[in-house]
Amino acid sequence: MQLKPITIGNVTTANNVFLAPLAGYTNYPFRRLCKGYGAGLCYTEMVSAKGLKYGSENTKELLYTDENEGLCAVQIFGSDPLIMREACENAALAPFPVVDINMGCPVPKIYKNGEGSALLENPTLAEKIVQECVKSGKTVTVKFRIGITADKLVTAEFAKRMAGAGASLITVHGRTKDKVYAGEVNYAEIAAAKRAVEIPVIANGGVFSDADAEKLINETGADGVMVARAALFDPQIFCGITGEKTESRLQMFEKQLKWTEQVFDERFTTVFMRKMAAFYVKGMRGAAAYKDRLFSAGSPDEIRAIVREIWQ
Are the C-beta atoms of residues 297 and 306 closer than 8 Å to each other? yes
Question: Is 88 a residue of the active site?
Answer: no
Residue type, 109: K
Are the C-beta atoms of residues 76 and 138 closer than 8 Å to each other? no
Question: From CA 49, how far away is CA 60, in angstroms rounded?
Answer: 12
Give the residue from 119, 41, 121, 43 showing the smallest Cα distance to 84: 119
Are the C-beta atoms of residues 72 and 103 closer than 8 Å to each other? no
Catalytic residue, candidates 34, 72, 105, 133? 105
Question: From CA 232, how far away is CA 64, in angstroms rounded?
Answer: 20
Residues near 92 by beta carbon (within 8 Å), at least 6 away in sequence = 52, 59, 60, 63
Give the helix, strand, coil percentages of the chain, each rounded to 5.
50, 15, 35
- 179-to-77, 79, 106, 152, 215 alpha-carbon distances in Å: 20, 22, 9, 13, 21
The SS3 of residue 47 is: strand
Question: From CA 153, how far away is CA 45, in angstroms rounded?
Answer: 26
Residues near 299 by beta carbon (within 8 Å), at least 6 away in sequence = 266, 270
Give the containing element (helix H, strand E) for 94.
none
Q: Which residues are catalytic?
A: 105
